[in-house]
Chains A and B, each alone.
Chain A
Amino acid sequence: GAVVSQHPSRVICKSGTSVKIECRSLDFQATTMFWYRQFPKQSLMLMATSNEGSKATYEQGVEKDKFLINHASLTLSTLTVTSAHPEDSSFYICSARAGQLNSYLTDTQYFGPGTRLTVL
């Protein structure tokens, strides 16, 4: 159980284009989803937190107009990188937290396999 998928797994695009990445919780409902970015040989950095039906909360230094997040349902969140540039090339990973914050188990986050974005 607790499987999270991401699509696409890999994308190459030209500078200036927009790229959408989907994150789905396959066997549970995720009230909260998270987006991370990981540069080579570095650890994961949280970009934003999104709750179903509300606006995302962005970490300091992350441009909300550049990284658009939509969490329209309990099983789907999307990250759109707008007007992508080479410096946006990175490994983008989503995670999902199940249920209400009232259980020992539901604070655990389950991560997707990641999306490798390369901007030429």
Chain B
Amino acid sequence: DAKTTQPPSMDCAEGRAANLPCNHSTISGNEYVYWYRQIHSQGPQYIIHGLKNNETNEMASLIITEDRKSSTLILPHATLRDTAVYYCIVKYYGQNFVFGPGTRLSVLP
């Protein structure tokens, strides 16, 4: 059974913020939320991860709801190079990553 649910596709205008949602309503207290993205014909790229608190790095921000049942990945100023498939993965520390279908984000000029 999939641990996460993501919309299959989204569009975003170049320069605007891209907000990618992920539902993980059955998440356990010690499961982390990871985000990766895969640009066409490349390996996945690590973006960010978190447990309970919101996280920010040079690529993106991760907002996790207080009940931890959902999260949002925010790309503050999307560019054409951000067009990719974005994967939200929930897992215990040490557990293998399981990739679902992800969200195909298209950044439009």
How many A-B pairs with Cβ below 8 Å?
49
Whole-angstrom distance between the Cβ of B42 and the nearest chain A Cβ: 6
Q: Is the CB of B46 within 8 A of A113?
A: no
Contact residues of A: prevailing secondary structure: strand
The reply on A91 being an interface residue by CB < 8 A is yes
B: which residues have CB within 8 A of A? Answer: 32, 34, 36, 38, 41-46, 49, 87, 93-94, 96-102
Q: Is the CB of B96 within 8 A of A93?
A: no
Q: Which residues of B contact A67 (CB under 8 A)?
A: none
Contact residues of B: prevailing secondary structure: loop
Q: Is the CB of B93 within 8 A of A107?
A: yes
Q: Which residues of A contact B34 (CB under 8 A)?
A: 108
A: which residues have CB within 8 A of B? Answer: 2, 4, 6, 34, 36, 43-46, 49, 91, 93-95, 101, 107-114, 116
Whole-angstrom distance between the Cβ of B109 and the nearest chain A Cβ: 25
Whole-angstrom distance between the Cβ of B74 and the nearest chain A Cβ: 19
Distance in angstroms between the alpha carbons of A26 and B34 in the assembled complex: 23
Whole-angstrom distance between the Cβ of B22 and the nearest chain A Cβ: 15
Whole-angstrom distance between the Cβ of B50 and the nearest chain A Cβ: 10
Whole-angstrom distance between the Cβ of B64 and the nearest chain A Cβ: 15
Q: Is the CB of B96 within 8 A of A114?
A: no
Q: Is the CB of B42 within 8 A of A107?
A: no
